[in-house]
């Protein structure tokens, strides 16, 4: 299928099933955090999946390639990103498997039926509020800072939309780990699995991957650390596996 790229857009290879994704580097491009989340998240055959704040649709597209989920939906508030996601879905021939919905995470329970998803994923904005922002309306600012939604918005909406026993997967920053855990428990999403991501073996972790279960019992597994780089420019073998190289 041929597709018309808009001004400043580019087509990137995803190393999975020959899939490609449309991105605009001047607006926002997916990062390693989204790829690592797609590798950490699990979906069984027949599962119905929602990705909240999907951006250009990277997580639904990668999860469609990696899992046997029956259907995936991406929710995105920025129409420009949602439009790129829809065109990427069509380009990859996935329009029957993936829906992209333009909408606000804070209103997700009005957009979708309650308890209607088996799996919810989210790569939310990490930074609190608008501290240091020169243009809060810029797409990159909205993706990185809690301008349009907070951590509590994400978790409370996930709790409403997950089926009992459904799984929530999120990537975030370790400096907010205490807040993440208390908020998950507050909304009856029990933390079940956690993995810290380190840029190098001798550095502090800069990402945390978390799985929680709606209504789950209190018991959490901490997986072995995920180290990204062996040396500058050279990934560890696990990272190459996740990327599909």
- Distance between CA atoms of 207 and 189, rounded to whole angstroms? 20
Instruction: Tell me how many domains the chain contains.
Output: 1
Residue 19 belongs to some domain of the structure: no
Does 21 reside within a domain? no
pLDDT in tens, 66-120: 999 999 999 999 999 999 999 999 999 999 999 999 999 999 999 999 999 999 9
Cross-strand pairs, 194: 210, 222
| pLDDT confidence bin for 136, thresholds 50/70/90 | low
DSSP secondary structure string, the chain? Answer: ---PPPTT-EEEE-SSTT-EEEEBTTTB---HHHHHHHHH----TT-EEEEET-TTTHHHHHHHHHS--SEEEEEES-HHHHHHHHHHHHHTT-TTTEEEEE--GGGHHHHS-TT-EEEEEE----B-TTTT-S-TTSHHHHHHBTTS--HHHHHHHHHHHEEEEEEEEEEE-GGGHHHHHHHHHHTTEEEEEEEEEESSTTS---EEEEEEEET--S--EEPPPEE-EEETTEE-HHHHHHHT-
Residue 210 domain flag: yes
Residue 141 lies in a domain: yes
Domain-embedded: residue 15: no
Residue 93 is assigned to a structural domain of this protein: yes
Q: For residue 145, is it within any domain?
A: yes
Q: Does residue 12 form part of some domain?
A: no
| pLDDT single digits (tens) 209-231 | 999 999 999 999 999 999 999 99
Q: What is the domain extent for residue 152?
A: 30-243
Domain of 64, CATH number, reads: 3.40.50.150
Which of the four pLDDT bands, split at 50, 70 and 90, describes residue 139?
low
pLDDT in tens, 151-180: 999 999 999 999 999 999 999 999 999 999
Q: For 17-43, write each residue's pLDDT tens digit.
A: 999 999 999 888 899 999 999 999 999
**pTM for the whole structure:** 0.93
């Amino acid at each position: 299928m041929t597709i018309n790229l808009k001004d400043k857009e580019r087509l990137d290879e995803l190393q999975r099933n020959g899939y490609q994704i449309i991105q605009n580097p001047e607006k926002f491009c997916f990062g390693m955090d989204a790829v690592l989340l797609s590798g950490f998240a699990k979906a069984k055959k027949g599962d119905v999946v929602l990705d909240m704040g999907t951006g250009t649709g990277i997580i639904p597209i990668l999860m469609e390639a990696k899992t046997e989920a029956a259907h995936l939906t991406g929710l995105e508030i920025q129409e420009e990103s949602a439009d790129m996601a829809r065109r990427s879905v069509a380009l990859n021939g996935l329009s029957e498997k993936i829906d992209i919905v333009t909408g606000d995470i804070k209103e997700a329970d009005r957009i979708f039926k309650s308890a209607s998803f088996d799996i919810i994923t989210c790569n939310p904005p990490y930074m609190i509020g608008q501290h240091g922002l020169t243009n809060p309306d810029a797409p990159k600012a909205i993706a990185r800072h809690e301008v349009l939604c907070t951590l509590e918005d994400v978790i409370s909406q996930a709790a409403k939309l997950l089926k009992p026993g459904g799984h929530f997967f999120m990537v975030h920053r370790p400096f907010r780990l205490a807040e993440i855990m208390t908020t998950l428990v507050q909304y009856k999403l029990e933390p079940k699995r956690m993995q810290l991501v380190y840029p190098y073996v001798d550095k502090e972790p800069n990402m945390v991957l978390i799985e929680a279960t709606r209504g789950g019992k209190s018991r959490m597994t901490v997986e072995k650390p995920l180290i990204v780089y062996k040396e500058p420019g050279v990934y560890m073998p696990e990272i190459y596996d996740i990327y599909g190289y």
